[in-house]
Amino acid sequence: MDNLEENFKPWGMELKVYLMLMHLSTLAGFVIPFGGLILPIVMWVTNKENSKDIDEHGKVVMNWVISAIIYSIICTILTFILIGILGFIVLGICALVFAIIGAIKANDGILWHYPLSIKFFK
């Protein structure tokens, strides 16, 4: 982090906390429809110009969110042959576990790339 970023407090919180919450924001979709899509986008877009860390973590989070949407569409199609139900269960577990691991790593200052994530943003 350069000197400019050291004093930067996105939304009034420490950078590590913000990065941690960015990863956890994907879980908002479990409570609020489309919350797991909208909240990470807002968190990333509003502050990506001010911090390269926010930009990098935001890209990782958005890669996972877009990948999960694609996997959900595939699971929806596969539901007609019943295997899609199992796919949704696995996808839900992955979404929960990946967000928690990403948040813990972000709080430790580590950028963790989600497994199974398609790289749309590099």
What pTM did the predictor assign?
A: 0.87
Please report how many Cα atoms fall inside a 13 Å half-sphere around the Cα of residue 28, on the Cβ side. Answer: 19
Give residue 11's pLDDT.
78
Q: What confidence category does residue 6 fall into, taking pLDDT thresholds of 50, 70 and 90? A: low
Nearest in space to 101 (alpha carbons), one of 92, 90, 112, 93: 112
Q: Region 63-85: what's the mean pLDDT?
A: 95
Q: What are phi and psi of 119, to 5 degrees?
A: -85, 90
Domain positions in the chain: 3-107
Q: What confidence category does residue 64 fall into, taking pLDDT thresholds of 50, 70 and 90? A: very high
Give residue 2's pLDDT.
47
The residue type of 119 is K
The residue type of 111 is L
Give residue 79's pLDDT.
93
Give residue 3's pLDDT.
44
